[in-house]
A and B are shown apart, each in its own frame.
Chain A
């Protein structure tokens, strides 16, 4: 199969409308960032983000009331992940005082408010405790009547049973009922009935919690910004060095800034939360988009070595066309993997997948319509200036000659 056999598009002629398009896109991005703002995650703002799973379909307003009456301020309460998982994402603003254990305060309050009246303080909640306390409790009550028997080691046996029960719970997040707990594969009837008698399956369980103090948040913001800026710098220097012309170095970085800015604008428009992994996605996008640009630059460099005389602009256009089928195919293949991530990778890396998803398109676009024309304009301008001042550059007739010397 072969698409795009010997394409011959005049990309540089399209330069102007696309540059205008990019500027408009950048303005829209800036507008979105300015008006809607970026949805910074707890990694950067500080504060806490807690996900709970409930037995019953949770009611956001009720959850908010419970949490607030426990003395914990709430930024937002929203449903999380697939509806049938009954999960809630709770955001708590940054505390002035560091070190408050927010999930430690909220969990008991939720359990208390959502449990049926009459549940005592001392009951053993299967949805809150781990295998260790469960094993200790089993050992204490000894439903299997193992104590004193020579052929059994209660500590080991009960630890194994407790681990099996908790592993079974992990499959679903939390036990919907005690029957679900008793249905753990391989459980003896004695332990199953002990579970029903001596434990409860509480209404809620903690799925995950992230809490970041103001000091760490500030630190991460600074580090994240520096990582992005320094990676631009490193790419600038590398490309400058490899292609022996500042026009290439600046062209690639201009394209990268363009990509990052528009992707950021899209994040603002779609309300994508900027977390650590999203910043990682931005850095990946930078690497990926630079990769794409370098391939075209490489072809320009190669074509410059050939003795064939043609204006630099035409040569660049030819280089884009020659690599066009590669650009499309690689783009398509990357898109396939990113799409798989986006649709199957789950809620946790949704933001990460989103940035790469949109970034893959923007990256290819900027290579053709930003990075390549930039080099043409720069080198043409340099040639024109050299023509006006013949003394400063010895060989004005060949735009881009500086680049050719790189090999």
Chain B
């Protein structure tokens, strides 16, 4: 029986050449995008760049951060409370004391002289009734977010945080960053090739919330929270707040924590910022100069004008950096001092320029791989792959002779298809992915082994050589398909379970197993036919 080989040879060559072409295409594409690549790439350069490397091989940072939307909600509630107070003043309605806002809303304590009905009317007309709910119990009016408004603000905070981080990362010049929201309140940030993770983490994680607040007349600084409270007879009034800060003394600055009592309302915040850059402070230390926009300058001018002689606290992310005395009215600029290193001042200016995060971000998960670790992993992964594949090849040839060589060719093609397919779908190669590559070769060879053992069995059973090959392939097929599909079923869960590196492993495994079904069953058969097919009678096969 003669089987046609023409179209099968053509298909095999098409797949082979297609895989190589896909790999080379991606390699060249990657080199073109990389500005530091050599202008005339060698074949080696192209081969090195065909696959995208994962963070664990390239080095870099993977961060999962949570947006603490409470901050954004509190800020929104604070704005609403301020608006309500202004409206009350305009309309001449007495409303009583508006208490500090929380992430749920704010409350108004109404004195005996206040008409709850008037307050309720004011709330309903001044604030959007679709966003705010109000209910009264006794002398207290609770004004709270309605559910849709809360969700909207949280979503807004997430989007804005993603946007801000993107700005900062762009300013850092990280190539190919990935910044994506995940779920309701998380952001996944992947920055490949970062070689100083500490600085990058600092820049991403710093909220960058600048607030300028007036220090209360009795505002300290105090050496402990208790001392501060004692100055106010035990409790600090609601319109004031206790904030940690740096000591004003140059020597003790940043090393000693002191406590200031500040007015709760900010004179100006970072939202009114126009620009920030590195400058120098009174002691010739690196500091950050900031410039306010027109609206900010107007507010700042008014507040500093009203409070000449008092202290102004420069609060960055809830810490008083310095609290200089206001000597004259200031309008549109200021300076943040804090004994910064030049690098830190530089980062801080970048953070302020790119805008504050709408809320505090906390790191839920961090995976940092330094550049040397990534390099080590690549070296070891490639060494392990070469050794593993070499050993398998030797063993197969020793055990199956010429048929073993057939398997070696099939496995080589399997490896080429695997690399080509991974390049084509832009799969990321990770360290577990390299392990998957090696394992795939170990498992792919199983298909060849199944077939060859079967051929040997048929030969033992007295079948002629060509019939034995035929039967061997035919009978081994169901075992190959069923066993590979069960493995793929497990790998599917692996993909669904894993984070980056593990996903890379699952992808490699599945592509490899699919490719092995093609190479072991189809290509290997073709090779047998090419070898023996043209002969009328085959006396013996080398297996």
Which residues on A are within 8 Å of B, measured CB to CB? Answer: 1-2, 6, 48, 51, 53, 98-101, 103-104, 107, 121-122, 128-133, 136, 160, 163, 166-167, 169-174, 205-213, 215-216, 223-224, 226-228, 230-231, 234-235, 238-239, 242, 252, 276-277, 279-280, 283-284, 286-288, 290-292, 294-295, 297-299, 301-302, 322-323, 325-326, 329-330, 332-334, 336-341, 343-346, 348-349, 352-353, 356
Contact = CB atoms under 8 A, between A and B. Distances in A.
A337 B438 contact: yes
Contacts of B492: 231, 234
Nearest to A299: B479
B442 A333 contact: yes
B384 A344 contact: yes
Contacts of B64: 216
A216 B453 CA distance: 48
B432 A330 contact: no
B37 interface: no
Contact of B442 (A216, A323, A338): A338
Contacts of B484: 291
B381 A346 contact: yes
B363 A283 contact: no
Contacts, number: 287
B332 interface: no
Contact of B489 (A1, A231, A292, A343): A231
A227 B492 CA distance: 9
Contact of A171 (B375, B442, B491): B375
Most buried by B among A166, A174, A302, A346: A346
B487 A98 contact: no
A122 B490 contact: no
Contacts of B490: 231, 234-235, 283-284, 286-287, 290
A206 B197 CA distance: 9
Interface stretch (B39-47, B198-206, B224-232, B289-297): B198-206
Nearest to A174: B372
A252 B270 CA distance: 63
Interface of B: 36, 56, 59, 64, 66, 172-173, 194-199, 201-202, 205, 341-343, 346, 361-377, 380-381, 383-385, 387-389, 391-392, 395-396, 398-401, 431-432, 434-436, 438-439, 441-443, 445-446, 449-450, 453, 456-457, 460, 475, 478-479, 482-494, 496-499, 501-502, 505-506, 509
17 contacts: A1-B401, A6-B460, A169-B371, A210-B368, A234-B492, A238-B486, A280-B497, A283-B491, A287-B491, A326-B446, A336-B391, A336-B395, A337-B389, A340-B387, A341-B388, A344-B387, A346-B376
Contacts of A346: 376-377, 380-381, 384
B443 A334 contact: yes
A224 B497 contact: yes
Contacts of A292: 483
B486 A287 contact: yes
- Top 3 nearest A-B pairs (CB, nearest first) are A99-B362, A130-B196, A340-B388
B497 A330 contact: no
A103 B363 CA distance: 12
Given A98-B364, A330-B449, A333-B442, A172 B372 contact: yes
Contact of B450 (A53, A163, A295): A295
B384 A340 contact: yes
B540 to A, nearest CB: 14
Contact of B195 (A6, A98, A131, A326): A131
A143 B124 CA distance: 67
Contact of A280 (B362, B441, B502): B502
Most chain-B Cβ atoms within 10 A of its Cβ — which of A103, A173, A228, A295?
A295
Contact of B373 (A103, A207, A301): A207
Nearest to A98: B362
Contacts of A131: 195
A329 B449 contact: yes
Contacts of A235: 486, 489-490
B493 to A, nearest CB: 4
B54 to A, nearest CB: 12
A171 B195 CA distance: 13
Given A136-B346, A346-B381, 11 more contacts: A51-B373, A173-B370, A210-B368, A231-B493, A276-B502, A280-B505, A290-B483, A290-B486, A291-B484, A338-B388, A344-B383
B450 A223 contact: no
A115 to B, nearest CB: 15
